Amino acid sequence: MMAGVAIVAALFVYSIVFAPNVNQTTYLYLPTGSDYESVTQILVNEDIISNIGSFDRVAQRKNYPNRVRSGRYFVHEGMSNNALVNLLRSGEQAPVRLTITNIRTVEELAASLAIQIELDESTIYDVLSDPATISHTGLSTPDIKLLFIPNTYEVFWNISENQLIERMQREYQAFWNEHRMARADEMGMTPEEIGTLASIVQSETNKQDEMPIIAGVYVNRLARGIPLQADPTVVYALGDFTINRVLNSHLEVDSPYNTYRYAGLPPGPINLPEPATLDAVLNYEQHDYLFFSAKADFSGYHVFAKTYREHLRNAREYQQALNERRIFR
């Protein structure tokens, strides 16, 4: 009789502690500031567990209500209450892959980050606009975007805004190693200036093999004090990224980003240059070209010229091709 009672008791304990209770394989998100009550609500509302009562009994025995830790956790179908509580108590999160791509503005950057981590768009924007944050990084306000080198990084979903800045600063410093710093110094440019020039090159072409040539054109113009006259900077100044054809009327915009009106580099990058583009600028091709125009075959490549007369001929061919395709804006 006693043996039967013991077996029943053991089975009861097993059903509470070790029997499967998780319904699905998914990620469980526990927002910052979550308490035990909010955790149980999430588990029920998202149909993650079958029996909240048995989960609560195990959680109470393991003192989980006093050890709630926010984050993103990977749970799989068939997990027991014991395994689930142990996971949540441990704080062993499943990191997210934070992907940073070629975007133009701080607003776009904040929006892109906010859909991947817990921080909301306004919080990210505010920290990237905060003079104290900018001063801490050593960058200027226009250059703060350069901290976010396009790549994919593993971070915790509930990373704080300060942790995010610190992480990206480490990545930035790792990229700008001794070799790259020395190369920038040889060019007489800072990493931030290289980043700004790379952002222009990246806007001009997506052809990796052509980037060092285009970079060489701009380096030549900078060395001779010739305005860069880069169409993408005018588009950035106007803030209208639907423009496909820069017209004379566009060139009238009075902005330090208008490199037709103002010589030298603009105040900061017009997008987030990728590592390959940064390296293309650091290893620009040395030549005598001062001009380039898109090829009339719309291949995405460019034709280069040493003289203005030659450039005008190339530009007319491309403009004629635009007219034939009725691309007027």
Structure-token pair, residue 262: 């103002």
DSSP state of 284: P
CA angle 205, 255, 186 (to 5 degrees): 55
Q: How many Å apart are CA 206 and CA 214, to the nearest integer?
A: 11
Query: By the 8 A CB rule, do 167 and 155 touch?
Result: yes
pLDDT at 154: 98
Query: By the 8 A CB rule, do 70 and 158 touch?
Result: yes
pLDDT at 327: 65
Paired sense of beta strands 291-294 and 302-305, if any:
antiparallel
CATH 3.30.1490.480 domain position(s) in the chain: 2-90
CATH H-level superfamily of 2-90: Endolytic murein transglycosylase (3.30.1490.480)
Q: What are phi and psi of 321, to 5 degrees?
A: -65, -40
Q: How many Å apart are CA 41 and CA 54, to the nearest integer?
A: 14
pLDDT at 13: 53
Q: How many Å apart are CA 320 and CA 168, to the nearest integer?
A: 45
pLDDT at 300: 86
- pLDDT tens digit string along 182-218? 999 999 999 999 999 999 999 999 999 999 999 999 9
pLDDT at 73: 98
Positive or negative CA dihedral for 161, 167, 171, 174?
positive
Structure-token pair, residue 101: 């791509």
Query: By the 8 A CB rule, do 194 and 282 touch?
Result: yes
Q: How many Å apart are CA 178 and CA 20, to the nearest integer?
A: 54
The CA–CA distances, whole Å, from 313 to 137, 214, 260, 293, 308 equal 46, 19, 20, 10, 9
pLDDT at 4: 46
Q: How many Å apart are CA 179 and CA 185, to the nearest integer?
A: 10
pLDDT at 10: 40
Tens digit of pLDDT at every position of the chain (329 positions): 554 444 434 444 545 776 888 999 999 999 999 999 999 999 999 999 999 999 999 999 999 999 999 999 999 999 999 999 999 999 999 999 999 998 999 999 999 999 999 999 999 999 999 999 999 999 999 999 999 999 999 999 999 999 999 999 999 999 999 999 999 999 999 999 999 999 999 999 999 999 999 999 999 999 999 999 999 999 999 999 998 888 889 999 999 999 999 999 999 999 999 999 999 999 999 999 999 998 888 888 999 999 999 999 988 888 888 777 776 55
pLDDT at 299: 85
Residue 316: Cβ within 10 Å count: 12
Q: How far apart are the first and last CA of the chain?
A: 90
